[in-house]
Amino acid sequence: MKVSLSWLQDYVTVDVDVVELAEALTMAGLEVDALSDRYAYLDGVVAGRLVEITPHPDADTLSVCKVDVGAGVKSIVCGASNIKKGDLVPVALPGTQLPSGDTIEAGRIRGRVSEGMLCSEAELTLGTDRSGILVLPESSVPGRGVAAALGLSDTVIEFDLTPNRSDCLSVIGIAREVAAILGVPLNYPEVKLPSGETPIEEFASVTIEVPDHCPRYAARLVTEVHIAPSPFWLRDRLNSVGLRAINNVVDVTNFVLMETGQPLHAFDFDRLAEHRIVVRTAKEGQIFTTLDGTERNLTDEALMICDGKGPVALAGIMGGLESEIEDDTTRVLIESAYFNPITIRRTAKRLGLSTESSHRFERGVDPEGIVRALDRAAQLMVQMGGGKLAAGVIDVYPRPIPERVIELSVDRTNRLLGTGLSRDAIISHLESIEFEVEVLDEDRLKVAPPTCRVDIERPEDLMEEVARLSGYNKIPTTQPVSHVVAKEQEKRLRVRDLLRHVLAGCGFSEIVTYSFIGEDACDRLLLADNDPRRRMVSIVNPLTEELGVMRTSLLPGLLTTMFRNSTQRNENLRIFELGRIFLKTGHDELPEEVEMISGLWTGAKHNSTWNVQEEKLGFYDIKGIVDTLCAALNIPHVSFRALKGPGHPYLRPGHAAEVYSGKKSVGTVGEVTGQVLHNFELKQPAYCLDLNFEEVVCLCFEEIRAKPISRFPATARDIALIVDDAVEAQSVLDFIEGLGQELIDGVEIFDVYKGSPIPARKKSMALRLTYRSFERNLTDSEVNSIHAAVTQKTLRQFKAELPAG
Amino acid sequence: MKEELKKTEQEALKSLEATSDRQGVNLLRTRYLGRKGVMTQCLRGISTVPAADRPEAGRLANEVKTRLEVAFREAIERLDADSKEPSGGLDVTLPGRSFARGRLHPITQVTQAISEIFLRLGFEIAEGPNVELDYYNFEALNIPKDHPARDMQDTFYISDDVVLRTHTSPIQIRVMEKRSPPIRIIAPGKVYRVDSDVSHTPMFHQIEGLMVGENISFGDLKGILTTLVHQIFDEETSLRFRPSFFPFTEPSAEVDIQCVICRGKGCRVCSHTGWLEVLGAGMVHPAVFEMVGYDTDRYTGFAFGMGIERIAMLKYGIDDIRKFYENDIRFLEQF
Ligand SMILES: [Zn+2]
């Protein structure tokens, strides 16, 4: 919403600096977005004194002027005849853009140098006269701006209004606030109408078929109108807020719209069939051409203004091409109505059409301001167009908008705000913005807001008015009295924190990616057709197709992040994300949101350093991260099983495992397949972990019980086994543990070897067993005999052999 | 004699313990083991011992002497190793062998910092779904369908009744539906709006706060938010409350803080106003309380919300919000 200071001053006297006023309005809830100099467009136009005028030698109608523009004398070719030597005139210097859009350039006119242009009043949009050059007052200083020379100064104030303040979508609305803030009176424009002769009812009629959509419709008729350009003051007012002047009738409707906030529509009365207005809804699928020439496809929700034959306007949004005001229009029917805000909003939204009118109707216009605005427009139209007014007004008001009366308690106001305002102070704040207040008793007030304040419904709304007018910053700052005892943080928050810090300790940096991804991510991960992760939640209106569905895995985000980093040559990455995935369920309207923790490791295994051989990153490194996490979170009975089957086609077979706690699967870990890397435009091997955070939270065992530790020393013995290649280390460890030998304190695998001299399809596996007692020192012979027995049983179990020699 | 030897040994070892420089150790050594030292005297004294006891005394004396020699030799070796020899030393300027260290995302760090402030103030943390019912995201917050306030937030739709939440406010409703006052919660989380440029990403983070009880006032809201801002930035940062509009609060306020970059003098970051808009807040609208069945005569409360990215950008001096989601490791490793 834009308002010019000069227009504002038609209704209220502003005796403070405009910057100060803007600040005060902002602090009262009307946020000022920008202040701009109305005449900034005249910056390149300076005053110049004509020092010489000679006829152009090669053109009868032109003369060559020498003009002193302060910084020197310019030669300018000019066609006007109203100027003489010694006059001061506006000079548009090269580079200046005129309101017409033309940019002045230095050049030659009929062979003579011309370094600028002398301008008329109309060319500078300072008036209508285009017959000659504007002559500036004698006091003008050559070289200074023409705006200063003419004493022109105006500021355009641009507001960023909140949607509740429809009352401020007008100059008078803003003026009302200014008056309250500055404590000065608000002067409404005086409306005096000629009495008119023939009653309007003899010409026209209005029927509302759908009063719920159109609670009120008023009209006046002006006859014998002469369509012409508006006078300068009216065009200047419209220009000042960025509206284009069209003709006297249309300009008046726009002027009154801006002045009062009430949208009006002017119909060419002679083009209204049967001279009647019918307000009804459209037929489903009906086509209507709005005055911008666009064919609109309507639904039966759209509210139409019709004449005796058919629709003539899309109510409250835009007029139709057929009944537009034309140059030959002589009789004008002015419409001023109150349309149901929801009706207008639905249609405007559906058509994607937002106009000055629809913007105001959607937010609610003043239901009691309808006729006032109509009268104002009629008065101006008679004035501008030299027309005659038909007597009386048509005002069909089948659904009166009830007046609101709200009871306000002084005590409750002060308690909610935390203030100690007196009853009188509250009353005077409310009255300053035209609220009517009646005192019921010491505490209670009966308040009737002005009808333009459609946002005021409850006592709290009144409290806000009091608060904003007395100043939010004057409300004392207090601390709430607390009866709440601080509670322990929820487990999932603690686990989340721990996970993040353990991973960061392992060198993994956290990333955050968008929750939406491209639908093709599933194809890129090679997911099977029946994979549950293919049942994605899609967005109806995505920003782009690549952000079209809610993610069902964090892996695409990690791989995409790896890609983005690889384009920047960031080749060594350890990253993780902790976030939700979204799985469609058959039974619920909302998807299941599952929190996952996923990580990716690619590139170097260690920080680069000197004199140390770079080791290759492998499966056991990423697995080690999972081991560390499980240990840190105290997850019980962790085991890994080689991944089999089609569930995880993005992990390399034989280089990936499923992670279990007991019988519960917690997630997967492994190497990304070459094909999937290729699908994400990656080349470098990458390893990832993908754990279900919900399971992790459940399994994380927070209670710690210290176990006793033995004070006797341990003795170690090794076993080397030659076993089938298929024998998994875990099974050997599980077997030895299952023997139940109490003196075994620990078992550790310290070497696995394949190749000569070990026979094909066999491997050697070396284990170190630690023996220890809680009661005594163990003797060598005791340990030897137990170890021999364990070795024998293990050999037998795995059909293993001892290495030769 | 035996007693005397024992005493001498103890004395020598005690003196040695008390000495930590090479010169002192050498002096002591001369005193005890030198040609005219204490031990030499002792050995000489053996001749005065009765002949029968002489072999025993001699053995003892030699044992003590040997032990002392070992002790002195070790002390000297220790001191020699500690005193650096330039020829055998290391180039200490070569880089150390560091461990990789990961960082938490700046959004996480700021969220945690803010959460901790509220945890200390007795607030609990609540969460809710990202894919949310229109009812919780809008209607229960007093934003009916066809209300112009819906234009304030460009919404991603899943269906007519399901949206990606446009703010963390629906969590307020979900909490109030389940519990009765007093309530003190904060709710951090991801939110989504159809928007993308230098200062907007289609997904961003908010933190919501809600306090409901008896006699909670706008002044209290000012108090809590002042504490918050002072803890995030510093005690010198002033706040400004401006009237605004949110359908779910009344009165509503927009909270500006004095520009932390220019300290209010005016700069590019604050568009030369000296103020930065960081928070939206207000007293919970009675219509919202009615939706969750709270007694509006008895309870009042306040709610507020702020963008995490905005705070992170100010705190870390980041000028492009998209950096948070590009996840360039060189960016992330700065935090
Ligand atoms: Zn600044």
Beta bridge partners of A114: A107
Q: What is the pLDDT of residue B88?
A: 66
> What is the per-residue pLDDT across A607-635, written as a single tens digit (0 to 9) for each?
888 888 888 999 999 999 999 999 999 99
Evaluate the CA torsion angle A405, A410, A412, A418 in order and state its sign: positive
Beta bridge partners of B183: B212
Q: What is the pLDDT of residue A677?
A: 97
Please name the residue of chain B whose CA is at the shortest distance from the CA of residue A584.
Answer: B131
Helix (H) or strand (E) run with residue A506 in it: none
- Taking every pair of Cα atoms in chain B, the longest distance, rounded to a whole number of angstroms, is 122
- Is the pLDDT reported for residue B39 higher than 90? no
Please name the residue of chain A whose CA is at the shortest distance from the CA of residue B153.
Answer: A163
Separation between Cα atoms, residue A678 and residue A674, nearest integer Å:
6
Angle between helix B2-17 and helix B22-33 axes, rounded to 10 deg: 170
For residues B54 and A561, the model is more confident at A561
Separation between Cα atoms, residue B107 and residue A8, nearest integer Å:
46
Q: Which of A396, A427, A454 is the last residue of a domain?
A: A396
Q: Same domain, yes or no, for A19 and A52?
A: no
User: Are the beta carbons of A564 and B327 separated by less than 8 Å?
Assistant: yes
How many angstroms away from the CA of B224 is the closest CA of chain A? 7
Q: Which of B124, B253, B286 sits opposite A460 (nearest CB)?
A: B286
Separation between Cα atoms, residue A205 and residue B96, nearest integer Å:
94
Assess contact for B190 and A595: CB atoms under 8 A. no
Please name the residue of chain A whose CA is at the shortest distance from the CA of residue B146.
Answer: A342
Classify residue A804: in a domain, yes or no: no
pTM metric for this prediction? 0.86
Number of domains in chain A: 6
Separation between Cα atoms, residue A329 and residue B238, nearest integer Å:
61
Q: Which of B194, B324, B330 sits opposite A543 (nearest CB)?
A: B194
Q: What is the pLDDT of residue A31?
A: 95
Q: How many angstroms is it from B310 CA to the middle of ligand 1?
A: 14
> What is the per-residue pLDDT across B9-29, written as a single tens digit (0 to 9) for each?
888 889 888 888 888 888 888
Most confident listed range (A102-111, A333-342, B258-267): A333-342
Q: Which of A349, A374, A396 is the last residue of a domain?
A: A396
Q: Same domain, yes or no, for A15 and A44?
A: no
Q: Which residues of A touch B222 (CB under 8 A)?
A: 418, 475-478
Q: Which positions 326-345 of A are in contact with B (Cβ < 8 Å)?
A: 341-342, 345
- Is the pLDDT reported for residue A534 higher than 80? yes
Separation between Cα atoms, residue B52 and residue B49, nearest integer Å:
8
Least confident of A67-76, B24-33, B159-168, B197-206: B24-33
How many angstroms away from the CA of A240 is the closest CA of chain B? 25
DSSP code, position B141: G
> What is the per-residue pLDDT across B79-113, written as a single tens digit (0 to 9) for each?
887 776 656 678 888 888 888 999 999 999 999 99
Instruction: For residue A484, give Cα distances in angstroms to A480, A494, B178.
Output: 11, 21, 17
**At A143, which amino acid appears?**
G
Alpha helices in A641-712 (DSSP H): 674-679, 693-699
Classify residue A776: in a domain, yes or no: yes
Interchain CB contacts (distance < 8 Å): A and B: 241
Q: For strands B249-258 and B275-284, give the pairing.
A: antiparallel
Q: Same domain, yes or no, for A349 and A424?
A: no
Q: What is the mean pLDDT of residues A641-665?
A: 92
Which of helix, strand or coil describes residue B26? helix
User: Are the beta carbons of A483 and B148 separated by less than 8 Å?
Assistant: no
Mean per-residue pLDDT over chain A, rounded: 93
Q: Same domain, yes or no, for A204 and A96?
A: no
Q: Same domain, yes or no, for A283 and A137?
A: no
CATH class as words, domain B106-332: alpha beta
Q: What is the mean pLDDT of residues A13-31?
A: 95
Q: Which of B184, B285, B324 sits opposite A460 (nearest CB)?
A: B285
Assess contact for A718 and A794: CB atoms under 8 A. no
Separation between Cα atoms, residue A236 and residue A609, nearest integer Å:
74
Q: What is the pLDDT of residue A805?
A: 63
**At B236, which amino acid appears?**
E
Q: Which two tokens stand for residue B271?
A: 């568009």
Angle between helix A370-385 and helix A248-260 axes, rounded to 10 deg: 150
Query: Any chain B CB within 8 A of the CB of A473?
Result: yes
> What is the per-residue pLDDT across A506-518, written as a single tens digit (0 to 9) for each?
999 999 999 999 9
- Is the pLDDT reported for residue B77 higher than 60? yes
Q: Same domain, yes or no, for A560 and A596?
A: yes
Please name the residue of chain B whose CA is at the shortest distance from the CA of residue A488.
Answer: B124
DSSP per-residue codes, A304-373: EEE-SSSEEEETTTEEBSTT---TT---EEEEEEE--HHHHHHHHHHHT---HHHHHHHH---TTSHHHH
> What is the per-residue pLDDT across B280-324, written as a single tens digit (0 to 9) for each?
999 999 999 999 999 999 999 999 999 999 999 999 999 899 999
Q: What is the mean pLDDT of residues A405-420?
A: 96
Containing domain of residue A518, as a range? 491-699
Q: Which two tokens stand for residue A394?
A: 């048509």
**Cβ contacts of A567 within 8 Å, gap of 6 or more:** none
> What is the per-residue pLDDT across A114-144, written as a single tens digit (0 to 9) for each?
999 999 988 998 888 888 899 998 888 999 9
**Cβ contacts of B66 within 8 Å, gap of 6 or more:** none
Q: Which residues of B touch A497 (CB under 8 A)?
A: 112
Q: Same domain, yes or no, for A110 and A173?
A: no
User: Are the beta carbons of B215 and A415 separated by less than 8 Å?
Assistant: yes
Name which of A89, A97, A98, A100 is nearest A63 in CA terms: A89
- Is the pLDDT reported for residue A218 higher than 60? yes
Q: Which residues of B touch A552 (CB under 8 A)?
A: none
Name which of B206, B212, B136 is nearest B171 in CA terms: B136
Separation between Cα atoms, residue B240 and residue B247, nearest integer Å:
21
Q: Which of A362, A396, A430 is the last residue of a domain?
A: A396
Q: How many angstroms is it from B241 CA to the middle of ligand 1?
A: 18
Query: Which long-range CB contacts under 8 A does B320-326 form with residues at least 24 apart?
Result: B320/B198, B321/B198, B321/B199, B321/B200, B321/B201, B321/B204, B322/B198, B322/B201, B324/A512, B324/B105, B324/B106, B324/B107, B324/B201, B325/A512, B325/A513, B325/A514, B325/B201, B325/B203, B326/A564
Separation between Cα atoms, residue B140 and residue A557, nearest integer Å:
34
Q: For strands A2-4 and A155-160, give the pairing.
A: antiparallel
- Say which CATH number the domain at A414 has: 3.30.56.10
Q: Same domain, yes or no, for A558 and A645?
A: yes
- Is the pLDDT reported for residue A301 higher than 70? yes
Q: How many angstroms is it from B258 CA to the middle of ligand 1?
A: 8
- Say which CATH number the domain at A371 has: 3.50.40.10
- Say which CATH number the domain at A56 has: 2.40.50.140
Q: Same domain, yes or no, for A57 and A165?
A: no
User: Are the beta carbons of B219 and A416 separated by less than 8 Å?
Assistant: no
Q: How many angstroms is it from B321 CA to the middle of ligand 1?
A: 18
Is the backbone of residue A437 left (phi > 0), alpha (psi -120 to 50) or beta? beta
Q: How many angstroms is it from A224 CA to the middle of ligand 1?
A: 59
Name which of B264, B294, B334 is nearest B106 in CA terms: B334
Separation between Cα atoms, residue A79 and residue A76, nearest integer Å:
10
Q: Whats the size of chain B, residue-wise?
A: 335
- Say which CATH number the domain at A783 has: 3.30.70.380
Q: Which two tokens stand for residue B187?
A: 């709710």
Q: Which residues of B touch A541 (CB under 8 A)?
A: 156-157, 194
Classify residue A704: in a domain, yes or no: no
Q: Which residues of B touch A542 (CB under 8 A)?
A: 156
**Cβ contacts of B32 within 8 Å, gap of 6 or more:** B8, B12, B38, B39, B68, B72
User: Are the beta carbons of B131 and A593 separated by less than 8 Å?
Assistant: yes
Classify residue A567: in a domain, yes or no: yes
Q: Same domain, yes or no, for A25 and A53?
A: no
Q: Same domain, yes or no, for A635 and A508?
A: yes
> What is the per-residue pLDDT across A744-792, written as a single tens digit (0 to 9) for each?
999 999 999 998 888 999 999 999 999 999 999 999 999 999 999 999 9
Q: Same domain, yes or no, for A556 and A637?
A: yes
Helix (H) or strand (E) run with residue A658 in it: strand A651-661
Which of helix, strand or coil describes residue B175? helix
Classify residue A484: in a domain, yes or no: no
Q: Which residues of A touch B241 (CB under 8 A)?
A: 472-473, 475
Classify residue A485: in a domain, yes or no: no
Q: Which two tokens stand for residue A257?
A: 């719209």
Separation between Cα atoms, residue A664 and residue A667, nearest integer Å:
9
Assess contact for A287 and A297: CB atoms under 8 A. yes
Assess contact for A68 and A49: CB atoms under 8 A. yes
Q: What is the pLDDT of residue B47?
A: 80
Q: Which two tokens stand for residue A716?
A: 């170690």
How large is the ipTM?
Answer: 0.87
For residues A716-746, one letter each, b for 16 or more C-beta atoms within 10 angstroms of the residue's C-beta and e for the rest, the string is ebebbbbbeeebeeeebeeebeeeebebbbe
Q: What is the mean pLDDT of residues B204-232?
A: 96
User: Are the beta carbons of A510 and B203 separated by less than 8 Å?
Assistant: no
Q: What is the pLDDT of residue A322?
A: 83
Instruction: For residue B164, give Cα distances in angstroms to A297, B111, B132, B155, B188.
Output: 30, 21, 6, 7, 15
Q: How many angstroms is it from B276 CA to the middle of ligand 1?
A: 8
Classify residue A623: in a domain, yes or no: yes
Q: Which of B240, B285, B329 sits opposite A573 (nearest CB)?
A: B329
Q: How many other CB atoms are found less than 10 A from the CB of residue B83?
A: 9
How many angstroms away from the CA of B327 is the closest CA of chain A? 6
Classify residue A193: in a domain, yes or no: no
User: Are the beta carbons of B329 and A477 separated by less than 8 Å?
Assistant: no
